[in-house]
Amino acid sequence: MNENEQEKPNDGAARLTFRYDLLRSTMTGVLETGFSTFGLLVAIRAFESSETWKSLLSGAVSAGLLIVPWVMGVAARSRMNATTFGACLMVLCAGSITGAVVAEGAVSFTFFLVAAQLCVAQLPSLMIHVYSLNYAPEERGRRLSWNIIVSALIGMTISYGFGVYLDRNPENHAWIFAGMALVALASAATLLPIPSLPLELPKKRQVSFFSGFSIAWEDKLFGRMLCGWMVMGFGVLMTLPLRVEYLAGEGGLEMSNEEVTLVAVVVFSIARILSARLWGGLFDHLHFIGFRLLLNVFLLFAALVYFNAESFIGVCIGATLAGIGTGGSSIAWSLWVTKLAPKGRETEYMGAHVAFTGVRGVLAPFLGYWVLSQAGFSGVAWISASLILASSFMFAAVLRHPRFRLDNSS
């Protein structure tokens, strides 16, 4: 990839990328909902899984992020185009979900769904290469916001149907995962036409999880940002499995599958959809630190409202705040390294970012369940809010750094 290609993306490549990536987002919406909501619901109600297995399911994508630097090295050495390699991963994902279809116990069910999520977790680092190659800097947030809208819309629609189906056929959950396996195969097919190039191995260092520490030490601003993301991420990620637990589990509101789906997916997704286009435009034109601080406001109040609510309306308000915050956070998480990374090193920086995300994502569900056992759902809310607030001060400390320019040229 030469410098001119990076600076002046081809319009035809951008249109082709947008078309097929938007189609891929329809598949992503089904898979994200299937893993995050129905995988956990089936673990709770069909297999009566222990907190350990539920934590593993909740942290599986994050565990996949830990191995991103290594997988990106494999991708680079394979000399496959980034999207071709991604398609191979989605075929493996489909095979793993098929294993969950025939699983007869909590251990095998967890194993196969974890394996599937490990594959899915590699895609953001591959796609950052595609976005940097095919999209101009000033259009990345706007284009990615459409992916989030489509993903959330499809996920919301499909998941409501899944929830109603589970209420009426609680013993036949296997059909949901069979459908997800087919969706994963379709996702692989949508990746193949997207223009991309083989990844380049870093010239000065061995690619591994520890590469992230090296980059963070070398680039002090990037390291400080990673620290802020780490604290904020713990605050948000520790609540993710507990949102479903609060709605469906003992000690919570004990809602039906349909009600759980309405709150955790439909209400959440509507808020995410309606806010995504606004967040996409703000990302392209607003100072990034101001953008991140604004997101933190929504996420902080979402935790406080959601886990202190005692009615359907209350948790819907909390889910709405969480959906608005997540609509922008997805864009920020996927693209913020393009604000800092030197040209040609976006995938390397993204690899470091997602590896650190993996660390907190693996540990956060265990932390969340531990806090729940010690302080209850209200305690979870206040600790989550405190961590998000602490990260806001960390982000604010680099607000005036000159590398955060408004022109997005980096």
* CATH label of the domain that carries residue 39: 1.20.1250.20
Mean per-residue pLDDT, 182-200: 90
Q: Which of 144, 57, 143 is nearest to 107 (CA)?
A: 57
**Any domain includes 408:** no
Phi first, then psi, for residue 321 (nearest 5°) are -60, -40
Mean per-residue pLDDT, 381-386: 97
**Any domain includes 239:** yes
Residue 315 in contact with residue 89, Cβ under 8 Å? no
Residue 3 is predicted with a pLDDT of 41
**Any domain includes 300:** yes
What angle do the packed helices 123-134 and 312-335 form, to 10 degrees?
60
Residue 128 is predicted with a pLDDT of 80
Query: pLDDT, tens digit, for every residue of 144-167?
Result: 888 878 877 887 787 777 777 777
Residue 209 in contact with residue 66, Cβ under 8 Å? yes
**Read out DSSP for 15-67?**
HHHHHHHHHHHHHHHHHHHIIIIIHHHHHHHTS---HHHHHHHHTHHHHHHHT
Q: What is the span of the domain harbouring residue 273?
A: 3-396
Residue 375 in contact with residue 300, Cβ under 8 Å? no
**Any domain includes 113:** yes
Q: Measured between alpha carbons, how far is 12 from 19 in angstroms, rounded to an integer?
A: 11
**Pair of tokens at residue 235:** 């605050």
Query: pLDDT, tens digit, for every residue of 201-253?
Result: 665 555 555 666 778 888 888 889 999 999 999 999 999 889 988 998 777 88
pLDDT higher for 332 or 276?
332
**Any domain includes 405:** no
Return the half-sphere exposure (C-beta side, CA atoms, 13 A cut-off) of residue 160: 12
Q: Measured between alpha carbons, how far is 369 from 377 in angstroms, rounded to an integer?
A: 10
Reported pTM: 0.71
pLDDT higher for 354 or 119?
119
Q: Measured between alpha carbons, how far is 65 from 121 in angstroms, rounded to an integer?
A: 6
Q: Measured between alpha carbons, how far is 306 from 378 in angstroms, rounded to an integer?
A: 9
pLDDT higher for 410 or 206?
206
Mean per-residue pLDDT, 48-71: 80
| Tally of domains in the chain | 1
**Any domain includes 11:** yes
**Pair of tokens at residue 140:** 């990345």
Residue 405 is predicted with a pLDDT of 57
**Pair of tokens at residue 32:** 């994200």
**Pair of tokens at residue 385:** 């809010």
Distance of CA 242 to the CA centre of its chain: 17
**Any domain includes 402:** no
**Cα–Cα distance list, 143 to 36, 93, 163, 234 (Å):** 25, 26, 30, 28
What one-character DSSP code corresponds to residue 8? S
**Pair of tokens at residue 316:** 């819907």
**Any domain includes 406:** no
Q: Which of 279, 263, 272 is nearest to 149 (CA)?
A: 272
Residue 16 in contact with residue 193, Cβ under 8 Å? yes
